[in-house]
Chain A
Amino acid sequence: MTTIDQPGIATAKVTPHQLPPRRYYPFAIPALVLMACVIIFPWLFTLIMSVMDFKVGGAVEFVGLSNYIKLFSDERFLGSVGRTFWFTLLAVIFPITLGTAAAVIFHREFPWRGVLRTIFIMPMMATPVAVALVWTMMFHPQLGVLNYLLSIIGIAPFAWVYDPNTVIFTLVLVEVWHWTPLVMLIVLGGMAALPTDPYDSATIDGATDWQMFRYITLPLILPYIMVAVVIRTIDALKVFDTIFVITQGGPGTASETLNIFLYLQAFQFYNLGYASAVVVVFFVIIVALSLLLLYMRQRMKWNA
């Protein structure tokens, strides 16, 4: 714990008389009530819907678990789950690595740092739909600027999002472009609190930059990296805008992730019962994964 040196605040030890936690509950009540209305109610509703056969305009009928049974033999659904995990894995690893490297660089002092950092974080603020439209134009196989730039350095043109084999990687590229800055900011925040002493003694002992990063910086910023991993995983699992605008799940179903599949079922085919079952399974995946990551985060907090 750090002590605060601030004039006017008594430095004499005040006996910390802990108030019982329930005294603080009223502060959280409005938000919890609100969240109950817009979040918990839809959950319950979805659970009920998921055991119904319900098409917009049709009759509602109780069908038990048959939506779920149908789901687990639906190849299109299973494919979208696999694709979602693959996409998420890539869309976590690359931004985390690049973002941490960027944080190490922006932690140093160099001319124009402020301006360059602002430019660097712009992608995470930009409206995904707007940027996705521009990417779509850039990916155009014949007229796109990306293939032109590749041709200058002698690389054969790509089909980008028009080829089932490259579409996921291409979409990950957009995701990396968007969200690496967020990782950088979170990790940079962790680095601001780094002590200077270990670096001084390491310099005296003749440690290299890499050794200092590996053995001093990395262990200290690991909790922050874990926060970034949690946030990145959440966002990657539920990515929608980019994929929907650029490919709408295509070509074929090559980039149809869970969220796209869900959208199509619910608001294209209006199979609301079936879509609700998808939501429930999606919940289970996300909650399981998030609890696992939170647990890891807690562990790392204690170890750090």
Chain B
Amino acid sequence: MSNRVESGGIWRKIGFGFSVFALVSPAILIFLWMISLSLKNELDNTAYPPVFIPNPPTLANYFEVFEKNNFLLYFWNSILVTGGAVLIGLLVGVPAGYGIARSKAHRTAVMILIARMTPALSYLIPLFLVFQILGLIGSIWALLITHLVITVPIIVWVMIGYFEGIPQELEDAAYVDGATLWQSFRYIALPLARPGMMVGAILAFIFSWNNFVFSVVLGGKNSRTLPSAVYNSLTFEQISWGPLAAAALLVTLPVIILTVAAQREIVAGLSAGGLKD
């Protein structure tokens, strides 16, 4: 790598260290405060000046989340909806990314982009009515199908970029050796694009998991996904800060763990830009 913090000047080093600190501290502060709220009793949570360090820390808030709400059901709903939508998204999105990149059908790519930019709410009016006619309101299927609106465009978009980064020459060489189009996709382009598939799948998973509005409109009492379940439990009973913070933390924990586990893929995938190095 080219740029290194030059040895010149202690002030420069301090300044650099300070900017790094300034960059990461907002993230750290919010998450620490979230954890702090979730581990304190109600008295400490509403104290002023605020109590920063839980003393003693209590898990009571977490117990309350699991006891008072059907948390595990909603967790399972989220897994089904997001998992299904990501799998189907990969199945149709990866070949589509390849087809669009190679045929340079950029008009199609713009279509995908427009799909990505359309506010989720605008799908919901028609789909709401259709699902109502089909009797699917309040079923997991309605949510899974709707979540394809999130996963497919993300995956196609990531894959177009990835396949464009893979030089055509490799596949040309394969044709000379008599490979079919499908074979050159399956055995040359696809393996090279595996990091792209990882990135696409991870991003699609996160955006689908985090989605809120689809479940607000289409989710029934038993088919809701986590984000809207937490929001609903908050409006229906005046819930206090501690359990709320605990629930919020539990909702976002899977994606945070995924981020930590797969940050190499996310960063490398977005920075590698195909085969260029």
Contacts and interface: CB of A to CB of B under 8 A. Distances in A.
Interface stretch (A2-10, A72-80, A158-166): A2-10
Interface stretch (B54-62, B63-71, B100-108): B100-108
B4 A237 contact: no
A125 B265 CA distance: 14
Given A118-B263, A286-B117, A46 B27 contact: no
B21 to A, nearest CB: 9
Interface string B176-210: 10000100010000000000000000000010011
Interface stretch (A63-71, A89-97, A136-144): A136-144
Contacts of A9: 170, 173
Contact of B50 (A17, A120, A145, A282): A145
A39 B115 contact: yes
Q: Kindly name the residue among B118, B122, B258 whose own CB sees the greatest number of chain A CB atoms within 10 A.
A: B122
A1 to B, nearest CB: 7
Interface in A17-33: 17, 19, 21-32
Interface string B13-43: 0001001100110111011011001000000
B16 A27 contact: no
Interface in A204-246: 234, 237-238, 240-241, 244-245
A182 B217 CA distance: 28
B230 A133 contact: yes
Contacts of B26: 123, 177
B244 interface: yes
A195 B227 CA distance: 44
A39 B34 CA distance: 37
A177 B181 contact: no
Contacts of B228: 129
B176 A14 contact: yes
Interface in B89-110: 91-93, 95-96, 98-100, 102-105, 108, 110
Contacts of A300: none
Contacts of B255: 125-127
A302 interface: no
B24 A119 contact: yes
A296 interface: no
Contacts of B173: 9-10, 14
A137 B167 CA distance: 51
Nearest to A196: B2
A137 B241 contact: yes
A105 interface: yes
A100 interface: no
A26 to B, nearest CB: 7
Contact of B119 (A22, A39, A238, A245): A238
Interface residues of A, number: 99
A130 B248 contact: yes
Nearest to A258: B119
B27 A145 contact: no
Contacts of A22: 103
Interface string A81-114: 0000000000000000000011001011110001
B108 A188 contact: no
Contacts of A196: 2
Given A27-B185, A122-B31, A266-B124, A32 B256 contact: no
Contacts of B126: 41-42, 45-46, 49
A161 B257 CA distance: 31
A129 B263 CA distance: 22
Contacts of A46: 122, 125-126
Nearest to B117: A234
Contact of A121 (B100, B213, B263): B263
B3 A107 contact: yes
B232 to A, nearest CB: 11
Nearest to B241: A137
Contacts of B127: 38, 42
Contacts of A177: 26-27, 30
A23 B245 CA distance: 53
B172 A188 contact: no
Can you list the 6 inter-chain pairs with the closest CB atoms, starting with the nearest?
A27-B99, A31-B96, A21-B103, A28-B99, A130-B248, A24-B103
Given A31-B152, A42-B127, 5 more contacts: A15-B172, A27-B96, A105-B20, A130-B230, A185-B270
8 contacts: A9-B173, A25-B105, A35-B115, A38-B127, A134-B30, A193-B276, A199-B2, A279-B125
Interface of B: 1-5, 16, 19-20, 23-24, 26-28, 30-31, 33-34, 37, 46-50, 88, 91-93, 95-96, 98-100, 102-105, 108, 110-130, 145-146, 148-149, 152-153, 156, 167-170, 172-173, 175-176, 181, 185, 206, 209-210, 212-213, 216-217, 226-228, 230-231, 234, 241, 244-245, 247-249, 251-252, 255-256, 258-260, 263, 266-267, 270-273, 275-277
